Amino acid sequence: MLIRRHPITLEEAQAKLAQLDLTPKTETIPVAQANHRILAQDLKAAYDYPNFRRSGYDGYALRAADDHDFPKIFHVVGEIQAGATFDRSLGENEVVRIMTGAFVPDDAAKVIMLEQTREVPDHPEQIKIMTTQKKDNITPAGSEFKAGDLLIAAGSELNPGGLSLISAFGQTSVTVYAKPKVAIITTGTELLQPGAKPQPGKIFNSNGPLIANLVAENGGEVTESIQIADDYQLLQTNLKRLQATNDIVITDGGVSVGDFDYLATAAREADQLIFNKLKMRPGSVTTAFIDHNTLIMALSGNPGACYTGFYLFVEPVLSRLQGRASQCQKVTATLSRFYPKTNGYDKVLRGTYQFKAGDYQVQLNGSDVSGALGNLQSTTCLFKIPHSHEPLPLYSQVETWLLPYKS
Ligand SMILES: Nc1nc2c(c(=O)[nH]1)N[C@H]1C(S)=C(S)[C@@H](COP(=O)(O)OP(=O)(O)OC[C@H]3O[C@@H](n4cnc5c(N)ncnc54)[C@H](O)[C@@H]3O)O[C@H]1N2
Ligand code: MOO
């Protein structure tokens, strides 16, 4: 029996997903494992940084009272290596030899670089300073941060620079949003196992790796990715098993109205149907539902629709579960190549864009066919052609999503 669905727009579907009560989880992990993780709490300076007056050069530290009448011979009373301290005070015309990064004695006002000095023959305990320098060559304590200053704001994606800043304060662990756990089920009796011999009527599973890499690249943890035949029992058993331990289960294929489209049945039987038909192409069959408190995102089997559906519907949820906004940057772009087709549904096309003279210019990237996958490697954005009886005029303004991880 063909069951009628109630199509909603792309925007309505996104709004329904945005209203879901999803609380990001946090965890504390070693800083060494935190690259690309999202910071869950503002990170503040635990103390003034640097926490001691630091020499910027290798040279000699002297008192302000002796900083005149050069060239002049000084008495060298010691040496301070980086990492050491100096607990004696400096007397008149006394200097201490000091290395870059070393603690500057409290009574020293300036460090004169080695290049401005000369050894005194037969007097290793003396040094001749040829001239003074304008700058004091000392980095004051607290000059970069005062205790309590904001170092990195919550919601930032940590990167090597940020991790070095955390490490500079001696911190070894950091509280980040937990990676959303995602399981993937690709369905289809036509799907061959990787490495199998090509056969008529059968295809290799390209959406499985596509979704797994997209999830990982967008901060999720793929706990399992399985490929199953079109079999209702097999689907239900795996859905129940995976929804028990994951934040999201993504399924692919079997979601239309065909005889073996069992995802459509599973969605109808679930605790809460969010949507099961969209007024858009590709991916009009994209379905979302909740079962046992787990979100199931059922993407279309058509590769172009699967890719588009991931970015429009799954990525924003993944981002929200990591405490941040979608990483697809929404811009208005100029349609720079004529798209002649008309359509009853809004279309979201895979495109490429350029930024010229302050304007994003966007165009179709190869095919607009839902089943095509040749353009997925080079697609850098998605853009929307609204439904209309007339083709959209060239240079119209179009809604565009710039995809993350693409340049
Ligand atoms: N009578 C109707 N038929 C169809 C409708 C409709 O409204 N009425 N909608 C069409 C549209 S639009 C789409 S989109 C597809 C969606 O189909 P499903 O999401 O149920 O996906 P399948 O039928 O399983 O597969 C579609 C297509 O994709 C290939 N596929 C499936 N899995 C993979 C994979 N893992 N890797 C690569 N390719 C895959 C599959 O072999 C099919 O060619 O339904 C239309 N039909
Ligand atoms: O909704 Mo489908 O992906 O257009 O062929």
Q: Tell me what the mean pLDDT of segment 228-234 comes to.
A: 96
Boundaries of every domain in the chain: 10-25+178-322, 28-49+150-177, 54-139, 329-402
Question: Per-residue confidence at 162, pLDDT binned at 50, 70, 90?
Answer: very high
Cα 71 from chain centroid (whole Å): 56
pLDDT at 3: 65
- Decide if 165 contacts 203 (C-beta within 8 A): no
pLDDT at 5: 84
Rounded Cα distance, 309 and 285, in Å: 10
Instruction: Give 340-366 pLDDT, tens digit per residue.
Output: 999 999 999 999 999 999 999 999 999
CATH architecture of 28-49+150-177: Alpha-Beta Complex (3.90)
pLDDT at 405: 80
> Does residue 371 have its Cβ closer than 6 Å to ligand 1?
yes
- Interval between CA 276 and ligand 2 midpoint (Å): 13
Rounded Cα distance, 232 and 239, in Å: 10
Q: Tell me what the mean pLDDT of segment 244-256 comes to.
A: 96
Q: Tell me what the mean pLDDT of segment 190-209 comes to.
A: 96
Instruction: Give 193-202 pLDDT, tens digit per residue.
Output: 999 999 999 9
pLDDT at 1: 52
Instruction: Give 8-46 pLDDT, tens digit per residue.
Output: 999 999 999 999 999 999 999 999 999 999 999 999 999
pLDDT at 391: 97
CATH 2.130.10.10 for domain 10-25+178-322: no
> Does residue 303 have its Cβ closer than 6 Å to ligand 1?
yes
- Name the residue at shortest CA distance from atom 4 of ligand 2: 282
Checking 163-169 for CB contacts under 8 A at 24+ apart, the result is: 163/31, 163/34, 163/35, 166/31, 166/34, 166/43, 167/31, 168/49, 169/45, 169/46, 169/47, 169/49
Ligand 1 pocket, mutate which of 204, 211, 300 (most atoms under 8 A from CB): 300
HSE-CB for 104 with a 13 A CA cutoff: 29
Rounded Cα distance, 334 and 316, in Å: 24
* Percentage of the chain exceeding pLDDT 90: 96
Question: What three-state secondary structure class fits 81?
Answer: coil
- Looking at 3-12, 21-30, 86-95, 364-373, which range is the least confident one? 3-12
> Does residue 194 have its Cβ closer than 6 Å to ligand 1?
no
**From the CA of 347, which ligand is nearest?**
2
**From the CA of 257, which ligand is nearest?**
1
Ligand 2 pocket, mutate which of 9, 299, 302, 382 (most atoms under 8 A from CB): 302
Fold adopted by 54-139? Molybdopterin biosynthesis moeA protein; domain 3 (2.170.190)
pLDDT at 70: 98
pLDDT of 4 > 90? The answer is no
> Does residue 206 have its Cβ closer than 6 Å to ligand 1?
yes
- Decide if 284 contacts 277 (C-beta within 8 A): yes
108: tokens are 């020293």
Rounded Cα distance, 1 and 6, in Å: 16
**Bridge partners (DSSP) listed for residue 248:** 182, 295
Give the chain's mean pLDDT: 96
Q: Tell me what the mean pLDDT of segment 148-161 comes to.
A: 97
Question: Per-residue confidence at 407, pLDDT binned at 50, 70, 90?
Answer: low
Rounded Cα distance, 75 and 77, in Å: 6
Q: Tell me what the mean pLDDT of segment 176-191 comes to.
A: 98
**From the CA of 281, which ligand is nearest?**
2
- Interval between CA 13 and ligand 2 midpoint (Å): 16
- Interval between CA 302 and ligand 2 midpoint (Å): 7
> Does residue 188 have its Cβ closer than 6 Å to ligand 1?
yes
**Bridge partners (DSSP) listed for residue 288:** 275, 297
Q: Tell me what the mean pLDDT of segment 160-187 comes to.
A: 98
- Interval between CA 278 and ligand 2 midpoint (Å): 10
Q: What pTM did the predictor assign?
A: 0.90
Fold adopted by 329-402? Beta-clip (2.40.340)
Nearest atom in ligand 2 to the alpha carbon of residue 278 is: 1
**From the CA of 300, which ligand is nearest?**
1
pLDDT of 280 > 90? The answer is yes
